[in-house]
Chains A and B, each alone.
Chain A
Amino acid sequence: MRGQGLFAAPVPGTSLVHRTPLWLKLVGVLCVGILPWVTSAGWPLAVVTIALVGVVLVARLPARRLARSMRGLLPVLVVLLAFQWWAHDLAYAVRVVLGIVNAFVAAGILTATTPVSDLLDGVVRAARPLGRVIDPEVVALTLGIVVRSVPWVAGSFASVRESARARGLDRDPRAVVVPSVVHVVSFARATGEALAARGLTDPAGDDEAPGRHTAPTGSP
């Protein structure tokens, strides 16, 4: 199962975007995500779209990877555009779709220009003040797994669609949705088991404390 979109792995480089501090990139992603909520006009979103294309060019991210990422999202965008057009009007539908595209591309630029280990370090630093409530390492690990799982889920969905097409069931949504959900649940379970096997879910300092009881999870 292959995923070579913007989220698959960082694109090594020394561009201005690569060298931009993580906090600034995160603020940028946040602003892009918030923009659709604070503007009722379409042109600011269009400006951001053009700016993001500029950032992609400056970062020298392969256009192919961007296109692959967008291709996976395209069916959802088309359905969303049609629904919002029907429910509201075309201008509103375009704003919704542009907002999603911008957030998706901004997040993709962040992950493509930042090693995940740097992201994890950043999250651990940011979550440290909340250390009494949550384990910053667990928060960082969760984020890392989310980033890594996006291409897997997209690849799984494509494989399932291909299988449905091979069986002549591509028009039946159940033939795509049900196996996709089963795949994702199975993947989540296998990932959880792998994390447990590596001791990554054990509390820090477990060297001294008694271990937790792990319920049987493996198949015989």
Chain B
Amino acid sequence: MTEVRLDRAVVTVPDDGSPERRPRTILGPVDLVLDERRVSVVGANGSGKSTLLRLLNGLVAPTSGSVTVDGLDTVRDGGRVRRRVAFAFTDPISQLVMPTGREDVELSLRRKHRSRAERRSAADAVLNRFGLSHLADQSVYDLSGGERQLMAVAVVLATDPGLLVLDEPTTLLDRRNILRLRALLDGLPQSVVVATHDLDLAADADRTLVVDGGRIVFDGEPRAAVEHYVRLVDGS
């Protein structure tokens, strides 16, 4: 299992609202060790969930403190961290950067396989593993929302990372596609950290974090965490 460690991690941004543009803390300080197979993160919009997730593969650097993945610092060893931590965004269309799914998987594999034939064969194996072979040559614009999200997950998993981070992957999906995505996630050997507003998906984890106002306000058993989050939202 991949181990993620956050040590007094803080993220601040310049506050455009104040005349002095003084730094505004949007997350932290956070102390965490994540080594469970499935971790979910819940919280209201703007609570800091996405920032927390972006810390995990170095997309966002902590302003102070540190984040490590299997002992690798996300700032100093960014490239190596990103090989271990895959990231899937809410909107898959911004993530699929090639015209077709097959070409996007091949793009992920370019550094691993220099030969075109090897790359093609490895891409076919990845698409087959995720049951997406029939969509391989379709334009990504012609895929349904659910198909796109599954393709985006397959694309980032093509390099066999140890951890998959998903930022609200079900937001744009209907119920049927949410179930398809959940089935896919259930079958993954990788560790998964998922931020979501889907409380069923959140409760399906081994551990759940509740984020509010840039802080982890609950960390523990998923059902209890979801109840805490619901009380938090209903009470506000």
Contacts and interface: CB of A to CB of B under 8 A. Distances in A.
Contacts of A199: 79, 82-83
Contacts of A148: 97-99, 140
A198 B91 CA distance: 15
A117 B87 contact: no
Interface stretch (A49-57, A73-81, A87-95, A202-210): A202-210
Given A9-B137, A190-B91, A190-B94, A220 B79 contact: no
A147 B99 contact: yes
Contacts of A145: 97
A218 B82 contact: no
A216 to B, nearest CB: 4
Contacts of A218: 50-51, 54, 59-60
A120 to B, nearest CB: 8
Given A197-B57, A220-B27, A4 B79 contact: no
Given A202-B82, A218-B54, A220-B51, A191 B98 contact: no
B61 A215 contact: yes
B interface majority secondary structure: mixed
Contacts, number: 159
Nearest to A141: B107
Nearest to A186: B94
Nearest to A151: B141
Interface string B6-42: 0000010100000000000011000000000000000
A79 B91 CA distance: 35
A204 B81 contact: no
A12 B137 contact: yes
A interface majority secondary structure: loop
B231 interface: no
Given A148-B98, A211-B77, 17 more contacts: A2-B142, A8-B142, A9-B139, A10-B137, A111-B99, A115-B100, A145-B97, A151-B139, A190-B89, A190-B94, A194-B89, A197-B87, A198-B108, A211-B74, A216-B61, A217-B59, A220-B48
22 contacts: A2-B142, A115-B100, A116-B99, A116-B103, A117-B103, A117-B120, A120-B110, A197-B89, A198-B108, A203-B79, A210-B76, A211-B79, A211-B80, A212-B78, A214-B75, A214-B78, A216-B11, A216-B51, A217-B60, A218-B50, A218-B54, A220-B47
Interface of A: 1-4, 8-10, 12, 111, 115-118, 120-121, 137, 141, 144-145, 147-148, 151-152, 155, 187, 190-191, 193-200, 202-204, 206-207, 209-220
